[in-house]
Amino acid sequence: MVTSLKARELMYTALLQQIIDKHYRAGDAIPPEIVRLFADIDLAFRDREPGRARDREDQDLNQETDFIKQDVDPTPTHIRAKDEDDAVIVERDVRMLNQKLLDANTLLTSERDRQNEHVRMLEDLTQMKSDFVSSVSHELRTPLASILGFIETILIDPEMLWETEREFLGIIFNESQRLAKLINDLLDLSRIESRHVEIEKTETNIVPIISHAISLVITEAENKSITLTSTCEHPALIARFDKERMTQIIINLLSNAVKFTQDGGAVAISSGIIDGCLEVTVKDNGMGIPASDIQFIFTKFFRVYRPRLQIRGTGLGLAIVKHLVELHGGTIHAESEEAKGSIFTVRIPI
């Protein structure tokens, strides 16, 4: 195919433009490498055709763009030139430009894949958020249904027995507390995330903190006949941490362990000083976490999909725990095997 250099140039520019149009939307930043390619094309052809003028370029434009639309194989076959040497040089340059276009295409493709990946991530996040709203809504409605139902029942029955009324008031009280806890968790996470939480580190013995945490989850464990044991390297393990927040961390891990362990299972907590760190480990022989999910469990809103298993929670507990551990300059690590159990290890520098 015999074409003029001018046509070649326009063809390359148009091809490049096509690639850009295909991969980018208006307003997207075009990588500088691509922008440079335009200049390269311009330069390469200008050197070959020294005499060309601007006004001629404009004249030729219409007839030559028609040619471009024919979607021609850009591989150089034959180029009209003044002499043989010139033709060789032109061909070499065109080949080089071809290579550059291929490189540009690879670059654009990988850029597109990256953007698609980003979009997918944002879509997942939106999905997670709406799941979270749905989950919070469900968790709020459940205790509210009892509270409102019992109040209505008391109100419409003026002859209700005093003992029945007392019993119902007790339930209303418990359910209200449940609501309050959920709201506290939500606010807590939001405060932690916006960095409005201060950690007050004092030299404290972890052992009574653990005992206290156990006393708060023992009823939950007993209701499911789960054995809860605590082993401690030493009667006094002193480290620097925020007493209240540490209690919160341990309660959370213990109550999670109880929650995700079947009736009659076992939960064990142990603590010690290892490599200059206070180490607290909570181990259970419960349902465990699928390997594909373990990397996400500390992500807020994330909950392992467990069909037909009613386990209370908002997907906030572990996210709060991780934030709190990190505010102490520590780390948290999870290991798990499905149907075998999970181990959560918290390490905080002394």
Partner 1 sequence: MMTPRKVLVVEDEKSMQILLLHVLSGAGYAVTLATNGLEAKQFLAKEYFDLICSDVMMSGVDGIELCTWVKSQDTMNAVPFVILSSCAQLAEIADGYKAGADYYLTKPFHMRNLLSVIATALVRESMC
Binding stretches for partner 1 (CB under 8 A): 134, 137-139, 141-142, 144-150, 152-153, 156-157, 164, 167, 171, 174-175, 308-310
What is the C-alpha separation between 188 and 320, in angstroms, rounded?
8
Nearest distance, CB of residue 275 and partner 1, angstroms: 42
Pick 99 or 126: Cβ nearer partner 1: 126
Nearest distance, CB of residue 155 and partner 1, angstroms: 10
Nearest distance, CB of residue 173 and partner 1, angstroms: 11
CA angle 39, 44, 50 (to 5 degrees): 115
Nearest distance, CB of residue 311 and partner 1, angstroms: 9
In this structure, the number of other CB atoms found within 10 A of the CB of residue 198 comes to 8
β-bridge mates for residue 332, sequence order? 346
Answer yes or no: are the C-beta atoms of 350 and 280 closer than 8 Å.
no
Pick 26 or 156: Cβ nearer partner 1: 156
Pick 142 or 204: Cβ nearer partner 1: 142
Pick 127 or 229: Cβ nearer partner 1: 127
Pick 147 or 289: Cβ nearer partner 1: 147
What is the C-alpha separation between 342 and 339, in angstroms, rounded?
9
Closest CA to 271 of 203, 211, 322: 211
Answer yes or no: are the C-beta atoms of 244 and 259 closer than 8 Å.
no
Closest CA to 207 of 258, 254, 250: 250
Nearest distance, CB of residue 175 and partner 1, angstroms: 6
Query: Which residues make Cβ contacts (< 8 Å) with residue 312, sequence separation at least 6?
Result: 139, 259
